[in-house]
Amino acid sequence: MNLKDMFKIAIGNLTHRRVRSWLTLIGIFAGIAAIVALISLGQGLEGAVTEQFASLGVDVLSIQGAGNSFGPPGATSVGKVTDHDISLLKRINGVKTVFGRQLMPALVEYRGNSEALFLASIPSKEGVAVIRDIMDFDLEEGYLISGTDKGKITIGSKVEIDGLKPEVGSKVTIGGKEFEVVGILKKKGNFMIDDSILMSEVAMDELFDLNGDYSLLVVAAEADADMVQLKDSVERTLRRDRGQKVGEEDFVVSSPQETIDSFKEILTIVQILLVGIAAISLVVGAIGILNTMYTAVLERRKEIGIMKSIGATNEQVLGIFLIESGMLGLLGGFIGLVLGIMISKGVEIGVKAAYDIAILKAALPWWLLVGALLFSFVIGSLAGTLPAMQASRMDPVESLRK
């Protein structure tokens, strides 16, 4: 009896007890489908989060005053970041340029209605090119203001005042001054772009009288700079300038990479919890295989006896039953994989329909596909091991006599 025969016998047995095989398969593929869908959506979500922050660029650092985590950078902080810091940081090796940004909430009036919205500054000098580069602004209509434009703003695609969308060419009033809307950005699915009003640094300075204080500084690094080292030198430079000890800084330097990492960590914990609960159903499914295989061994006692008495070895009997349970697992895994992909694609389409933008893409990395199949095969074989061993150890005389 070779491997081919063993497969034939196993398949013959599975198709012979069609209902039972199907029911056992359902037990496996329900679990696998749930796990595949959860992992694939989790990965997709991770990708979406990364993309939201990637617009900040990974080769930039941002610096803001230390304080508590309420709202926008700089609002409640004690330490300040200023023009003085900019000139200081520009001298560091590996720094391409440094510029400040203002992020301020303000009441915006349009056609007699008003709403508090978020203003973001466009830097006035060499920062313009960098910010265009890292924020990757695309325009739906009109143009992007420069860092020196006065009386003009470019607005994000979701900016509305009491439900009214200002059109290009219309005027809004901010802080008692009139501004003309000269452009509307394309929707990016990124709150930092879609919900903001872009105003030049010069105009913002006039409006709020900021005197060289910024909400945050952006340090753009040279292409080949080591970001960890750069962050260290930035911290050291600022500490020395301010006469502060390690751990007592009144400023915080953060890199987008760190933000992405901490988000990923939270997502991973949530995903482990969900997949863990889904995995319970896989355990139940595996017990179903165990049960089915014990029953199969019991029913085929006579058959096993005959096979053994005409020369089948213990290993061959073991092989037949292991192949049978492994195939139950593998087939269940395959159907589960297909179902899981369908579920996650369905959610992707649902989210796209609901939010009108493709933020969540179901990720289907090769390791998920291969892993799911391998995992279900291993589960099937493992669940079949005990029954298969019982079958292989049967005494042919005993089993034939009964």
Partner 1 sequence: MTLIKEYFQIALRSLTRRRLRSWLTMIGIFIGIAAVVSLISLGQGMRSAVYDTFERMGSDKLMITPKTQFGPPGANTGYVPLVESDLDFLEGISGVQAVSGYVMSSARIEFQDSVRYYSVVGIPTEPERLNLIIDIFATDIAKGRNLEPGDTFAAVTGFYHNERGLYAGKNIQLNNKFFINDQKFYLAGVFEPIGSSQDDSMIIIPMDSFRKVTGIEDRIDFIVVQGDEETLNDLADVVTRSLARHQGVNVDDVGFNVQTPEDLLSTLDTILNIVQGVLIGIALISLFVGGIGVMNTMFTSVMERNKEIGIMKAVGAKNSDILYLFLIESGLLGLVGGLIGIFLGVGFAKLVEIISTQALGKTFLVAHFSWGLFLGALAFSFVLGAGAGTLPAVQAAKHKPADTLRDE
**Using CB under 8 A as the criterion, which residues of the chain lie in contact with partner 1 when the complex forms?**
19-20, 23-24, 26-27, 30-31, 34, 38, 66-72, 75-79, 104-107, 113-114, 116-118, 174-175, 208, 244-245, 247-248, 250, 273-274, 277-278, 280-281, 283-285, 287-288, 290-292, 294-295, 299
Q: How far is the CB of 33 from partner 1 (least distance, A)?
A: 9
Q: Residue 253: beta bridge partners?
A: 63
Q: Measured from the CB atom, is 163 or 311 closer to partner 1?
A: 163
Q: How far is the CB of 31 from partner 1 (least distance, A)?
A: 6
Nearest to 121 by CA among 110, 106, 107: 106
Ramachandran angles phi, psi of 185, nearest 5°: -80, 155
> Is the dihedral angle over the CA atoms 157, 159, 165, 171 positive or is it negative?
negative
Nearest to 140 by CA among 92, 182, 86: 182
Please state the length of the chain.
Answer: 402
Q: Measured from the CB atom, is 2 or 69 closer to partner 1?
A: 69
- The rounded distance, in Å, linking the Cα atoms of 376 and 332 is 7
Q: Measured from the CB atom, is 51 or 109 closer to partner 1?
A: 109
Q: Measured from the CB atom, is 144 or 278 closer to partner 1?
A: 278
Q: Measured from the CB atom, is 222 or 241 closer to partner 1?
A: 241
Q: How far is the CB of 370 from partner 1 (least distance, A)?
A: 23
Phi-psi region at 76: left, alpha or beta (left = phi > 0; alpha = psi -120 to 50):
alpha
Q: How far is the CB of 305 from partner 1 (least distance, A)?
A: 19
Q: How far is the CB of 328 from partner 1 (least distance, A)?
A: 12
Query: Contact at 8 Å (CB) between 217 and 252?
Result: no
Q: Measured from the CB atom, is 6 or 25 closer to partner 1?
A: 25
Nearest to 385 by CA among 304, 309, 329: 329
Q: How far is the CB of 101 from partner 1 (least distance, A)?
A: 14
Residue 355, judged by CB atoms within 10 A of its CB (0-12, 13-18, 19+), counts as exposed
Q: Which residue has the tokens 């085929």?
A: 300
